[in-house]
Amino acid sequence: MSKIFGRLLEYKWSVSIALILMLTELAVELFQPLIMAKIIDDGLASQDMNTILFWGGLLIVFSLVAFAAGIINTFYSAHVCQNFGYSLRNELYQIIQYFTFASSQTFSSSSLITRLTNDITQLQNTIFMGLRFLLRAPLLVVGGIVLSFFVNIKLALILAITIPLIVVLFIYVVRSGRRLFTSVQQKLDSVNNVMLENLTAVRLIRAYIRKTFEKNRFFQASDDLRELTQRALRIMETTVPLLLLAMNLCIIAILWFGRGQINTGEATVGEVVAIINYTLRITSAISVVSMLVMIISRSKASADRLQQIIDKEEKDADQPDGIKLSKIKGKINFNDVSFQYPENKERTLNNIDITIYPKEMIAILGSTGSGKSTLFQLIPRLYEPKEGNILIDDQEVATYSLNTLRHQIGYVPQEALLFTGTIKENIMWGNPKATLEDVIDAAKDAQIHETIIQLPEQYNTRIGQKGVNLSGGQKQRLSIARALVRKPSILLLDDSTSALDVKTEKKLLAAISKYQCTILLITQKVATAKKADRILLMDAGEILDYANHNQLMEKSKLYQQIVNSQAGEGVLKHV
């Protein structure tokens, strides 16, 4: 928590001004009962109008000063908390952007959304309330007790005995609240996760008539959140009546003993009024403190969750001063490369040893889970191999700067991912410097241009979230256009033509074959693989064969089975 709030040092001047103004309010509030005692004992008791006017006027001036200090303090407190939230949110977002693939799998998307929104808001509320009341409330309690001893020692002892009991209760509540509110934030993650899944899969839910099931799943997650939040708030809120009861009993005791002291001449009416005034102010401060305890408990849980992201900060192992070529030729070597995901017991890739020459088109065939996509992700260093090394243009891939490497790779994943915005913006996402002519050329080669020009706003047509208003084939072709507009040296197509018909796919392959780049294409279609220079046949993370179509037809029984199965003559067992 201290690491998170340590960032407030960036706003030390604003924080200092806010604290000085808060202390000004506190000073006025602490001296008001003393002034009121003066008015009662020296003014009203002796009917001295000059004394009443003097101390009354001073009380009004002090009140105006406190009012002005409170207004300005609010401004500075808001300034600090909003800027703190803004900078922390940006910092955490940048950390997440630079997560390695392994690190990004530590947190769910819904959890990260909750942390960057709700958790940061909790911290902002804590900072604002802290600069307004956090120090003022406990200092008012302490200052009120101290000054009450200057007024009347015996009556002040009643306050001094009551307050420590309240402090013990506070400590218990803070500890319990922190634990409960950590669980509350985790339940909020679960609610957001259900919402995210439902909104993403809305078509599938309707197609399978699962609305009732998903509604109940959301209600269950929401109900769990409600029950745990109520439990946490119940503990926090129960403290307020207990505190008020203790303070009211304290007031009754002061009135009882104060009356006796007035009768014996040990105390004046003004002194009793002053002590009662301090007690009431302390009571109101304790009510504020109880609210602050709840806020601090929640913010402690939120700060711990945000610190987890900071502690997890792990960037790709980059060499900014590494090789920076203007153009990669596209030769790729896998030298005895093995890879294993951290959460898996078995290797996904075993001793991959192949050479891909510049401007070759390589088709990769294999069963589900054979390691095809993993092989792709090692090339732009989304993952690092466990053993062996990967060379590009005869240089180890780790010696390239990530910018040099990734700027020259066009990667189209299995799932076509589009962003809210126009078609033009989505294609230019692959190359922000691309001209409209570049965008159109890429769209034509991706076989999506004709579809785009039929739309009312053509390239300025807006795409819904994740391309919800487009078909699967249209999304795939837009994703391919986004990769082509980069004019890459290496093009990675991860089963990204699966939704295309044979005629469209044939045109697409003919268009991209003209690009001066090395093309790796994961596919399940023999008709597609036949057009490649060579075919890489994989199974269980190993290479079974690596040759062209004719050679594989002669020597690979597995490939023959695949061909026959797709021709309707056999049973497809491995694809």
In eight-state DSSP terms, residue 268 is -
Residue 274 near residue 98 (C-beta atoms within 8 A): no
Does 504 share its domain with 543?
A: yes
pLDDT of residue 572: 38
Element holding 571 (H helix, E strand): none
Residue 277: per-residue pLDDT: 79
Asked if pLDDT for residue 574 goes beyond 50, the answer is no
Q: What's the pLDDT at 253?
A: 79
Same-domain check for residues 7 and 129? yes
Q: Indicate whether 508 and 478 sit together in one domain.
A: no
Question: Are residues 443 and 341 both part of a single domain?
Answer: no
Question: Has residue 536 got a pLDDT over 80?
Answer: yes
Nearest to 566 by CA among 521, 540, 528, 510: 528
Q: What's the pLDDT score for residue 575?
A: 38
Pair 127, 98 in one domain: yes
- pLDDT of the residue at 533: 87
557 lies in some domain: yes
Cα separation values, 96 from 20, 52, 311, 380, Å = 37, 64, 11, 18
Weakest mean pLDDT among 14-23, 124-133, 446-455: 124-133
Is residue 174 very low, low, confident or very high in pLDDT (cuts 50, 70, 90)? low
**pLDDT at residue 180, rounded to an integer:** 72
Position of tokens 């075993």? Answer: 350
Phi, then psi, of 427 in degrees rounded to 5: -70, -40
Same structural domain, 157 and 298: yes
Of 240, 248, 234, nearest in space to 291 by CA: 240
Work out the average pLDDT over 545-556: 84
- Identify the residue with better confidence: 175 or 448: 448
pLDDT cut 90: percent of the chain above it: 0
Question: Does residue 521 sit in helix, strand or coil?
Answer: strand
The verdict on 460 and 505 lying in the same domain is: no
Q: Could you tell me the CATH number of the domain that includes residue 480?
A: 3.40.50.300
* pLDDT band at 468; cut points 50, 70, 90: low
> At residue 267, does pLDDT exceed 50?
yes
| Predicted pLDDT of residue 373 | 85
Helix H or strand E segment including 225 = helix 211-264
User: Contact 29/281 with Cβ under 8 angstroms?
Assistant: yes
Q: Is residue 318 part of a domain?
A: no
Pick the range with the lowest mean pLDDT from 109-118, 284-293, 382-391, 432-441: 284-293
> Is residue 336 located within the same domain as residue 464?
no
Final residue before a domain boundary, out of 264, 286, 311: 311
- Percentage of residues in the chain having pLDDT higher than 70: 84
Q: Are residues 482 and 496 in the same domain?
A: no
Average confidence (pLDDT) over 208-218: 75
Q: Are 56 and 39 in contact (CB under 8 A)?
A: yes
CA angle (358 as vertex; 551, 334 as ends), nearest 5: 75
Domain-located, residue 164: yes
> Residue 571 pLDDT more than 60?
no
Using alpha carbons only, what angle is made at residue 461 by residues 203 and 420, rounded to the nearest 5 degrees? 55
Q: Which of 493, 484, 546, 540 is nearest to 515 (CA)?
A: 484
List of residues 6+ apart from 32 with CB closer than 8 A: 59, 62, 63, 277
Return mean pLDDT, the chain. 78
Least trusted range by pLDDT, from 83-87, 90-94, 223-227, 317-321: 317-321
Q: Is residue 342 classed as helix, strand or coil in its secondary structure?
A: coil
CA pair distance 115, 129, nearest whole angstrom: 20
- Highest averaged pLDDT of the listed ranges 182-186, 205-209, 416-420: 416-420
pLDDT band of residue 322 (cuts 50, 70, 90) is low
Structure tokens of 511?
């268009």
Range of the structural domain that residue 565 is part of: 325-408+492-575
With a CB cutoff of 8 Å and minimum separation 6, the contacts of 239 are 169, 170, 173, 290, 293
pLDDT in tens, 409-425: 888 887 777 777 888 88
Same domain, 240 and 351: no
Half-sphere exposure of 188 (CA within 13 A, CB side): 20
Q: Give me 36's structure tokens.
A: 């009121």
DSSP-derived letter for residue 384 is -
Q: Is residue 282 a contact partner of residue 159, using CB atoms and an 8 Å limit?
A: yes
567 and 447 in a single domain? The answer is no
Residue at which a domain ends, from 311, 346, 370 = 311
- Of residues 575 and 52, which shows the higher confidence score? 52
pLDDT at residue 443 is higher than 70: yes
In this prediction, residue 45 carries a pLDDT of 67
> Has residue 87 got a pLDDT over 80?
yes
Q: Any idea what the CATH number is for the domain that residue 34 is in?
A: 1.20.1560.10
Distance of alpha carbon 544 from alpha carbon 351, whole angstroms: 12
Taking 60 as the threshold, does the pLDDT of residue 317 lie above it?
no
Contact 296, 242 (CB under 8 A): no
Query: To which H or E segment does residue 462 belong?
Result: strand 462-463
Strands (E), 292-372: 332-339, 349-356, 361-366
Among the three residues 437, 458, 487, which one is the final residue of a domain in this structure? 487
Considering 58-67, 93-102, 167-176, 234-243, the range whose residues carry the highest mean pLDDT is 58-67
Residue-level length of the chain: 575
- pLDDT at res. 103: 63
Whether the Cβ atoms of residue 513 and residue 361 lie closer than 8 Å to each other: yes
Work out how many domains the chain is built from and give that number: 3
Read off the tokens for 330: 């596209």
Rounded to whole angstroms, the Cα distance separating 21 from 131 reads 10
pLDDT for residue 287: 67
Identify whether the C-beta of residue 289 lies closer than 8 Å to the C-beta of residue 74. Answer: no
pLDDT in tens, 35-53: 777 777 777 767 778 777 8
3-state secondary structure 124-146: HHHHHHHHHHHCHHHHHHHHHHH
Question: Residue range 420-443: average pLDDT?
Answer: 86
In angstroms, rounded to a whole number, what is the distance separating the alpha carbons of residues 122 and 79? 16
How confident is residue 346, by pLDDT bands cut at 50, 70 and 90? confident
Residue for token pair 């690979």: 556
pTM of the model as a whole: 0.63
* Calpha distance 408→558 (Å, rounded): 35
In a domain, 388, yes or no: yes
Within this chain, do residues 337 and 446 fall inside the same structural domain, yes or no? no
Q: Say how far apart CA 304 and CA 296 lie, in whole Å.
A: 12
